[in-house]
Amino acid sequence: MKYELVIKNGIIVTASDMVEADIGIQNGKVQRIYRGLIGSEEIDAGGSYIIPGGVDPHVHIEMDVGDIRTTDDFESGSIAAVFGGTTTFIDFVEPMDGETLQDALTKRRAQADGRTVIDYGLHMTIVDDKPKTLAEIPEIVKEGVRSFKTYLTYPGFRLEDDQFIRVLEKITRSDGMALCHAENHAAIEYLRNKMSNNGQTAPIYHARSRPAATEIEAITRAIALAEVTGAPLYIVHVTTADGARAIKEGRARGIQVWGETCPQYLILTEKELERQEFEGAKFVCSPPLRTEIDNQGLWQALREGTLSTIGTDHCPFNYIGQKEMGRNNFTKIPGGIPGIEPRLALMHEFGVRRGLITVNQWVELCSTNPARIFGLYPRKGSLLPGADADIVIFDPAIQTTLSVGNLHECVDYTPYEGIAVTGLPMTVLQRGRVLIREREFVAPKGTGQFLRR
């Protein structure tokens, strides 16, 4: 048989295997993996890795925070993602006060549809336990949005424990899954007020007002409440070794709990927030960057399977004009850092090349597990026959230095400025169509599809 497209001369790497073979693609789907396949069109992978497209389970594109908005829109954010080897992302719906979940979902889809260049899904954010909100949850599941984000901190977003319990119960009865941003609100408010009143206004106090204990307590509590309600729970952006340990212990008790971490929590530390001339503001995110010991503990948790996914929590705010809003007061610095593009390269450099995870774990963490956990597998996150031909040809030997000037994120800095990496996505396909060819965007824009999960 002659396939529409064949990718040849690569090393196919999945979450479980590594094999030298060709991939035959037909009608946008992976059809066969074998040697000596023939295609009407052929791409020579030149000995590079051929991996399933990355799935980023946690991004904030065009997110409004007060009067400001994250700087990537669905077009620029998705272009940056695909340059980085991500072919699917999952963003959030954040209903405004009084808005129904359905209206907010319709609005969010209108923002993304026809704009994003890669496929995308959405998580729904739940900020109250009003009967009408809870009643909508099964309807939202029917719309293909099965995952519901909750916050235990942030004024206007956070749920008290009794509310969280009611929300968890409704989500699990609706066959959904809860996501949780776990930080102890009362402790953080106490420390923020104390530090502000003492004139401790520099960016480093952002980290000091959210110490590790505030995350560890909240993760432990969220897992206990998931245990009580029987709800499956996904903890977003775990930053501490002890937070990961709480997940491990929860799993050992039989609770369905998964944990995500992000490259910034594996590679950077809170020392970045001490940079001179307010540069530390570039590294303000919540939960904050931690210590080298936490970095190591998180790598260990990834290696042993306690943490299951790598998201980016891509939340880009410009340094000029946005981060600067907190020049005299760290509590006014918009929280969040960019990173949708260099996720695969960073995890390859700091994880695979340094021997902290295997190349199969790299694929599993960045692609297969997010797809499995969020109901996209095996269509996404795999190269099984019938899967979408979302494929990355990743050259593990090419060297570059990450810099705001060579990334495609629409933001005026990168927290990874100056970091040298070996290994980059060269060619990226979605549903059998080449989007990036040898690091050049070659496709029509706006063809990403909404993924019902």
Contacts with ligand URP by CB under 6 A lie at 60, 181, 285-286, 313, 315, 335-336
For the bound state, the minimum distance from the C-beta of residue 237 to ligand URP, rounded and expressed in Å, comes to 6
Q: Is 324 helix (H, G, I), strand (E, B) or coil?
A: helix
What is the C-alpha to C-alpha distance for residues 100 and 389, in angstroms, rounded to an integer? 36
* Shortest CB 121 distance to ligand URP, Å: 16
What track of x and - describes contact with Zn ion for positions 166 through 185 (by CB under 5 A)? Answer: ---------------x----
Whose Cβ is closer to ligand URP: residue 346's or residue 352's? 346
Cβ atoms of 262 and 312 closer than 8 Å:
yes
- Closer to ligand URP by Cβ: residue 23 or 218: 218
Q: How far is CA 343 from the centre of its chain?
A: 9
Q: Which of ligand URP, Zn ion, none does residue 425 bind (CB under 5 to 8 Å by kind)?
A: none
Q: Check if the beta carbon of residue 255 is closer than 8 Å to that of residue 197.
A: no
> Which of ligand URP, Zn ion, none does residue 434 bind (CB under 5 to 8 Å by kind)?
none
Shortest CB 261 distance to Zn ion, Å: 12
CB of 335 to ligand URP, least distance (A): 3
Q: Please, what is the minimum distance in Å from the beta carbon of residue 284 to ligand URP? A: 7
Whichever of 58 and 166 has its CB closer to ligand URP, that residue is 58
Rounded distance, CA 307 to CA 300, Å? 9
The entry of Zn ion, ligand URP, none near residue 323 (CB within 5 to 8 angstroms by kind) is none
Contact 146, 124 (CB under 8 A): no
Q: How far is the CB of 153 from ligand URP (least distance, A)?
A: 9
The residues, any chain, with a CB within 8 Å of residue 411's CB and separated by 6 or more, are: 71, 72, 316, 317, 318, 338, 404
Question: Candidates 77-85, 192-200, 313-321, 428-436 — which segment interacts with Zn ion by CB under 5 A?
Answer: 313-321
For residue 441, the minimal CB distance to ligand URP (Å) is 27
- Residue 130 to residue 53: CA distance in whole angstroms: 39
Which residues are 29's β-sheet partners? 26, 388
Parallel/antiparallel/unpaired status of strands 2-13 and 18-26: antiparallel
Q: Select the binding partner of residue 180 from Zn ion, ligand URP, none (C-beta < 5 to 8 A, by kind).
A: none
* Contact (Cβ atoms closer than 8 angstroms) between residue 11 and residue 48: yes
Radius of gyration of the chain (CA): 21
Residue whose C-beta lies closest to Zn ion: 181
For Zn ion, the closer of residues 22 and 409 by Cβ is 409
Q: What is the DSSP letter of 348?
A: I
Helix or strand (DSSP H, E) at 93 = strand 86-93
134 neighbors 192 (Cβ within 8 angstroms): no
The interface partner of residue 285, options being ligand URP, Zn ion, none and the CB cut-off 5 to 8 Å by kind, is: ligand URP
313 makes contact with Zn ion (CB under 5 A): yes
- In the bound state with ligand URP, the residue whose beta carbon lies nearer, of 313 and 349, is 313
Q: Quick one: 14 or 239, whose CB is closer to ligand URP?
A: 239
Three-state DSSP class for residue 230: coil
Q: Minimum distance between the CB of residue 286 and Zn ion, rounded to whole angstroms?
A: 6
Q: Give the whole-angstrom CA distance, residue 49 versus residue 30.
A: 16
310 binds, among Zn ion, ligand URP, none (CB under 5 to 8 A by kind): none
Where along the sequence are the contacts to Zn ion (CB under 5 A)? Answer: 181, 313
